[in-house]
Structure 1
């Protein structure tokens, strides 16, 4: 099972990591809006994390004779998610290093501009600016940034793991084909 987790976690991680790295480097000078960036990011996560379903199904069919219970399937999905999350974090850190992007500052600028456009008062803007400056300083620290980056992908992995385990625990769902 461990080998399967590493294999499919690596597959998912390489997919999501290469998309993250590629889009960050390609769009470093002209980044898309935050909404488009999030749509690209979460869509690539869902595509990559479909490896959870494939990995659990292959393990169920090949190693377990077509039967797997919910908790082992869910645990396997979580394991694949962790491995993929590590690749995701490494891709983000590499993209930041290659581009020299100060994402914390860019995010802070965007958030402040958004609040200003919504008509926030001067006092509220001063408070938000101070909070965003503190966030930008924290985000510059890799020990703060890396776990935060991991929490972007891991909940998606948990959701995909839950759905995969719920579906694949039924041996009648996409049964193994016997030669």
Structure 2
């Protein structure tokens, strides 16, 4: 099972990590914010479909068509963990290669959006202070690494939960003869 976790976790990590790296380096960290998030989370869902495939394979090939919920869920979480680590490493590599200051760029974008929405001077001042504090925190790897991991892992938990719930039923997508 450990081999399966690393193989499918590695596949998922590469599916999500390579586009993240290429998009960050290629666009120098300046994709339009809504598009960047949509592309990012769509890629995460596609990548984490490896969880479903791995659980189904384990059920059909190694489990004789049966898998219990908790082992399936645990396997999904482990695959998500491996994919999440690769995602974090891809983000760190993209930051190092591109030289972008993500926190500062993000802060400027958020402030510009609030300004365009007609925020008051007091709101903008408070937001500017908050974004400066965020930039300081984000510079610390002990803050940045878990924060980056927290972008992908909840998606992995959700995919693992749904996959385990569906695939515990041997009649759901049964193995072909």
Partner of 2:35: 36
Aligned 1:86-101 pairs, distance under 5 A: 86-101=85-100
Q: 1:177 Cα deviation (Å)?
A: 2.1
Partner of 2:113: 114
Partner of 1:23: 23
Partner of 2:62: 63
Query: Where in structure 1 are there 5+ consecutive unaligned residues?
Result: none
Q: 1:80 Cα deviation (Å)?
A: 0.4
Partner of 1:148: 147
Q: 1:22 Cα deviation (Å)?
A: 1.0
Q: Aligned pairs, how many? A: 177
Distance 1:97 1:153 in 2: 20
Runs of 4+ that moved beyond 4 A? none
Q: 1:115 Cα deviation (Å)?
A: 1.1
Q: 1:62 Cα deviation (Å)?
A: 1.3
Partner of 1:174: 173
Partner of 1:131: 130
Q: 1:117 Cα deviation (Å)?
A: 1.2
Query: Where in structure 2 are there 5+ consecutive unaligned residues?
Result: none
Distance 1:57 1:129 in 2: 49
Q: TM-score, normalised by structure 2?
A: 0.97
Partner of 1:82: 81
Distance 1:95 1:172 in 2: 43
The secondary structure found in structure 2 opposite 1:146 is helix
CA RMSD of aligned residues (A): 1.0
Partner of 2:45: 46
Distance 1:127 1:24 in 2: 29
Q: TM-score, normalised by structure 1?
A: 0.96
